[in-house]
A and B are shown apart, each in its own frame.
Chain A
Amino acid sequence: MTNRSLKPYLEALPYALLLVLIVGVPIATLITISFWETDGLLLYPAFSFENYRELFTSSLTLTLYLDTIKFTLLTLFFSMIIGFTCSYFLVFFVKSLKVQIALFLLCTVPFWTSATIRMISWVPFLGKEGVFNSAVQGIGLTDTPLEFLLFSDFAVVLTYVHLFTLFMIVPIFNSMSKISPSVIEAARDAGANDFDILINIIIPLTKTGIALGSIFIVALVMGDFFVVRIMSGGQSASVVSAMKNEIDQLYYPQAAAAAVLLIAMVLIFVSLILRVVDIRTELAR
């Protein structure tokens, strides 16, 4: 039976090898460099906590993390609601499997256009003289254009939701479509109404999908600098957008230290999610 116990190792081997090589090694380098010193070009091997000291003593770090976490939670909230509701509709209210898959693919299509272009496309829509403002003014709802629509935190969250909700829909849809109809039927026979079924059966059985989607969103939003830079009109910064300025100027050790902190924060976030939902026990038979 050694064959049986070796199986998971052999199955995981190609993935693990690839990952260790293309992620593990660069990350190890990153951690090493975070203790080094630089003069803005050359790196000097050292074992200095100066980069971390600077990071932890700067009030900027806290501001940036608070802003970034704010964006993350808002995006999580909206994408979760949208992702759950849409999946719920597709799985339980659309009868034909073909229509279901077609509608599901419909949600994924925009994801196939360049993210840069999808993001920029909000500009002509939300701007002072954009489509939305013209429409609102046209029907006389307001006289002055709504300026908060573009180059604001609103625009940033809107874009995140637009770009990333798909990452919530896919796992939730997957989890939900596996709920056995007989379970629901049985509950209904026992006198449960739709709401009871939603709360007591569907949500608990979908939590893996929700957890997976949340991991995606946390990682994507916390790792972003591009959206926050463009859509806030540069008015807001995030952890990575501030890091980007250091990377651009070749201050790698400082950026590496900031990256290590960010990775630690996200891993903590993710382990909290896993504490609520242990994804892996859901995989075991």
Chain B
Amino acid sequence: MAKLDKGNNRAGVSRRSVLKGGTATLVAGSGMLAAPMVWANNLKDITLQQVGPSYSVYPDIAAQASADLGFKIETQGAWTDALMARVVNQPETVDVADLEFWALSKVWRSKMLHAIETSKIKNWDKMIPLFREGKNFDGSDASRQGILPYEVLYVDGPGETSFAGGATDHATLVPTIYNADTLGIRPDLIGREINSWAELLNPEFAGKAALLNIPQIGIMDAAMAIEARGDFIYGDKGNMTKEEIDRTIDILIAAKKAGQFRAFWSSFDESVNLMASGEVIIQSMWSPAVTAVRTRGIDVSYAPLKEGYRGWGIGMGLMSHLEGLKLEAAYEYLNWILEGWQGSFMAKTGYYSSVPDTAKAALSAAERDFWYEGKPASEDIKDPFGGLQGSVGLVRDGGSFEDRIGNIACWNTVMDEERHMVKRWNEFISS
């Protein structure tokens, strides 16, 4: 922790001691009349319930935060779809929700989430411009195909049901982790270079390709391939028109009938098994799945393709039923998340932090070089649990953080014509 404390913003530390000590400042500031001592005593009784997908919510992170902050954070794993249903229908069973950005376009309107005051998030300004301003590292505008987190990150104020569309001082989520996805391939079984999404539909790989069976994401991967192959250009792959959906699905049905696809996976471990067993040699894949295959001594490439990556991100949202001390505690937790410990933990699972500076500061030089800088590993690379991820000399696919995250062509999404899309997707699957 010594390393971390150095990185700590002094204001944050004093803020925390304010909370722990319960001085009058906080009481006045929060407009509460309770005596300070009561606050201090109550703090340790606070329990925050954090719910999210298992690749984002780790008990280790909550345990470390609980130890640092003096109140308790409990975690519960839940799939994104179950979590969305709970945020909307059972809001009291959640305090902090780890939501994907696209989910916001559905659940924010329910008013069950609290508009986060960005002024209370002390590392907000250190957040990468992609989230904060919708800009790439080179200052150019980020791709808006699909739901760019920036588009759903801000609202004008509490109670607003629509997004602001530009930066304001109220946020829907505090961005935490994100990554850039691409195709996973087995170079040993393909034997040549793969540099375009079009290869996913290449008949050369008939019976050995797989696609993700989550309609919203699967259709994007397919669209990347179709566009790359030159069939046609989409207006917005992330928000297709009915005609575009129909054309896409028709192409997919034809490919399926021709035996292109070996499987459509819907859980992470399936994609790992497909790849590791050689059932499939080219497929949509997620980064930790690639790592999991590699730890079995099987070579997988997760190489950048010339059309770019499909990006996704998760943020932490506060539920609107939080109030008083509990709300303050939740803000403290959000601040703690961006301080680096969590960022370094997540880095070792292959995901980036929204405040990379603090995450990098909490990593060792060798880890930083490997995970963020794209340099060859100078020592064995371990995951947060001590499992071996790669040996000396390994280089992260796609290179450095800026190379990967600066090259996102589209984002995970929910379309306006979503029902039509899901219906056609079901047709595709059952064809």
Contacts and interface: CB of A to CB of B under 8 A. Distances in A.
Q: Does A touch B (CB under 8 Å) in the complex? A: yes
A150 interface: yes
Contacts of A67: 430
Interface in A196-255: 229-230, 233-237, 241-242, 245-251, 254
Given A42-B109, A245-B422, A254-B419, A234 B429 contact: yes
Contacts of A234: 213, 263-266, 429
A230 B267 CA distance: 9
B126 interface: no
A98 B267 CA distance: 43
A235 B263 CA distance: 6
Interface in A105-125: 120, 123
Given A151-B263, A229-B266, A247 B81 contact: yes
A41 interface: yes
Nearest to B216: A249
B279 A245 contact: no
Contacts of B84: 248, 250
Contacts of B256: 235
Contacts of A246: 419, 422
A64 interface: yes
A23 interface: no
B422 A237 contact: no
Given A229-B266, A234-B266, A247-B81, A129 B278 contact: yes
Nearest to A67: B430
Contacts of A127: 273, 277, 279
Contact of A245 (B215, B262, B278, B414): B215
Interface residues of B, number: 36
Contact of B81 (A120, A123, A233, A248): A248
A216 B264 CA distance: 29
A40 B420 CA distance: 12
B430 A242 contact: yes
A63 interface: yes
B107 interface: yes
A124 to B, nearest CB: 8
B207 interface: yes
Nearest to A128: B279
A278 B76 CA distance: 47
Interface in A62-105: 63-64, 67
A58 interface: yes
A236 B429 CA distance: 6
A42 B112 CA distance: 12
Contacts of B422: 245-246, 249
B418 interface: yes
B242 interface: no
A194 interface: no
B317 to A, nearest CB: 15
A205 B21 CA distance: 78
A129 B277 contact: yes
Contacts of A130: 277
B427 interface: yes
B418 A245 contact: no
Given A40-B106, A128-B278, A235-B261, A123 B273 contact: yes
A151 B106 CA distance: 33
A147 interface: yes
A25 interface: no
A41 B104 CA distance: 11
Nearest to A251: B419
B426 interface: yes
A60 interface: yes
Nearest to A130: B277
Contacts of A241: 429
A117 to B, nearest CB: 11
Contacts of B215: 245
Interface of B: 81, 84-85, 88, 106-107, 109-110, 207, 210, 213, 215, 256, 261-267, 269-270, 273, 277-279, 414, 418-419, 422-423, 425-427, 429-430
Interface of A: 40-42, 58, 60, 63-64, 67, 120, 123, 127-130, 147, 150-151, 229-230, 233-237, 241-242, 245-251, 254
3 closest Cβ contacts across the A-B interface?
A: A234-B264, A233-B263, A248-B81
Given A40-B419, A120-B269, A237-B429, 18 more contacts: A41-B106, A64-B426, A123-B273, A127-B273, A127-B277, A127-B279, A128-B278, A128-B279, A233-B265, A234-B264, A242-B426, A242-B429, A245-B215, A245-B425, A246-B422, A249-B418, A250-B88, A254-B419
